[in-house]
A and B are shown apart, each in its own frame.
Chain A
Amino acid sequence: MKKFIITTAISACIAIGFTGAAFADAGNSPTLKRIADRGYVTIGHRETSVPFSYIGDAHEPIGYSIDICLNIVQAIKTELGNDKLTVKYVPVTGQTRIPLIANGTIDLECGSTTNNLTRQKQVSYLSTTFITGTKIASKNGSGITEIEDLEGKIIGMSAGTTNEKALKAAIAEKGIDVKIVTVKDHSQGWLALSTDRIDAYGSDDVLLYGLISKSKNPEAYQVTGRFLSFDPYAIMVPRNDSTFERLGRIVMSDLMRSGGMETIYNKWFAPGPTNINMALSDRLKGAFDTQAYPH
C-alpha cells in the first residue's frame, strides 16, 4: 500500500513537472492561472459598438475586436496546453468595464476603448487595433468641409468626450465664431443634426460613418475634414501582468506581419456587414506594419 502511494506520488510529481513545462511562463501570470483554474477565458464585449463588438443576428457577440480576441484565445489554449478551454462572453458598458477588469471578472476587454496614458494607470493595453479621431458630419450640400466652414453656424458634440475637448480646442485656436451645443450621446447628437438643431456633429470618424449607415437616408450625410484628435483603440487587459500582455502582443504581431489583421479588417469594414464602408487607411496600415514586432 505504502509503495503504491509513493509510486503515485512520484508519477504525480512527474506529471506536474511535465505540465509545468507547458505552463512555462504561465506560472507568474495571474490571468493565465485564473483561466487555467476556471477552464474558460472571459471576454468582455460591448453590445452596440458596431462593427467592433456588438450582438449579431445570432445573438452572439461578434465584430472586429472579437475576432482578434478569438485569435488570442487560441494562443492561450496552446500556452496552457488545454484544448478544452471555452470562451465565456460578458457584456460590459463604458462604466462597468473598469470594475469588471479590476476584480478579475473579465480577462480581455474586446470593445472600442481608446488607449491613453492616464488610463494606463488603471489597465494595460495590447497593440493598437484601430485609429480614429474627431471629424465632423454634416448634411450633404451644406458646404461644410472643415471646421473653419462653421463660422456663424452651430456644432454639436457629445458632452464629456475626447471629441468635445478636441473640437473646443480647435475652435478656440482658430478663433472660429461657432455656437457649441453639447448633447448626452450620439443618438441625441444625430437627432439634433437631422432636426436642424445643429449644422454639424463632431465625433470619432468611425462612429460618424456608423451613424450614417444606420440613418434613414445615408446619402444625405457626409463625414469631412481633417482629424482633430488622435484616438487609438486597443484591447484592454488587467494591469501588472506582463506575461499575459506579451502573449497577446505575440498573437497580434503575428497577425499584423502575416496580413491576417488586414483580412479581419476588411471583413468588418470594407464594406463590412453593416455597410460602413471604410477602406483600410494608410495610417492604420502603417500602424500594423510598425507593430509587427519580429520574434
Chain B
Amino acid sequence: MGDFDFAIIYNNLPFLLEGMKTTLLLTVAAIFGGIVIGTVLAMIRLANIPVLSWVAAAYVNFFRSLPLILVIFWLYFLVPLILGRPVGAFASVLVAFVLFEAAYYSEIIRAGISSIRSGQAAAARAIGMTYSQTMRFIVLPQAFKAMIPVLLTQAIILFQDTSLVYVVGLKDFLVSAELIANRDQKLIEMFVFVAVVYFTICFAGSMIASRIQRKLPV
C-alpha cells in the first residue's frame, strides 16, 4: 500500500462530490416517496378493505420477491414507454426505487402501527374520531416515533442500495469513482476510497439509530 496515491482522490474531489450529490438526492427522494406510498399501503392493509387490502398485500409481496436490479431494468425500459418521452436515467431509477422501497417501508410501518395498542385506537373512536382522524392524530404520530430507528436503518440500506444504479450507468458516487479508476488506472485508490466513504456514513448512521433505539421507552 506504500504507493497509495492520495492526489488522485484530491484532484477529482469536485467530480466525486457531484456523484455523491446524485447518490444523496436519490436516497432522500426515494426515502420520501417510499415512506409516503408505504404508509398508504400499510393503512390500506390494516383497514381491511376487502379487495384493496388484498391488492396492497400482493403488491408488497410481489416487490419483495424481486431483485432490485431487475426492478431498475424494468423501469428503465417501462418509464419512457409509458410516458411517451425520454426521461433521464435518474427519473427512471427514482421511480424504481420508490416503487421498490415502498414495499419494504410498508412492512415496517405496518408493524409500527400494529405495535400501538389497539386500546388507544378504540378510545379515539369512542370519543367520536373518524378512522382517518384516529390515524392522523393518535396512531401515526406515535407509530412513527417508535419506528424512527427502524426507518433509519432502512434508510441506510437504501443509501447502500443506490449503488446499484451502476447497472444503468447513472453517474452516482460509485460510477463517478469507477470512471476515474478506469481512466487513470487507479483501481485500488478509488475503490478503497469509495468503501471508506460509504462505511463512514453508514456506520455513523447506524450508531445514531441504535442510540435513538436505546433512548426510546419500551
Contacts and interface: CB of A to CB of B under 8 A. Distances in A.
Contact of B86 (A98, A100, A216): A100
A96 interface: yes
B84 A104 contact: yes
Name the residue among A92, A102, A105 with the largest chain B CB count within 10 angstroms. A105
A90 interface: yes
Interface in B79-95: 80-81, 84-86, 89
23 contacts: A90-B86, A91-B86, A93-B169, A95-B77, A96-B80, A96-B86, A98-B77, A99-B77, A99-B78, A100-B80, A100-B81, A102-B81, A103-B80, A103-B81, A104-B84, A105-B80, A105-B84, A105-B85, A191-B182, A191-B187, A194-B185, A195-B185, A216-B185
B168 A95 contact: yes
B104 interface: no
Contacts of B86: 90-92, 96, 100, 105
Given A90-B86, A100-B86, A194-B185, 10 more contacts: A91-B86, A92-B86, A93-B89, A95-B77, A96-B80, A99-B77, A99-B81, A105-B80, A187-B182, A191-B187
A187 to B, nearest CB: 5
B32 interface: no
Name the residue among A99, A187, A190 with the largest chain B CB count within 10 angstroms. A99
B117 to A, nearest CB: 49
Contacts of B78: 99
Nearest to A44: B86
Interface string A98-115: 111011110000000000
A185 B86 CA distance: 24
Contacts of B168: 93, 95
List the 5 closest A-B pairs by CB distance, nearest first: A99-B81, A90-B86, A99-B80, A187-B182, A103-B84
Contacts of B81: 99-100, 102-103
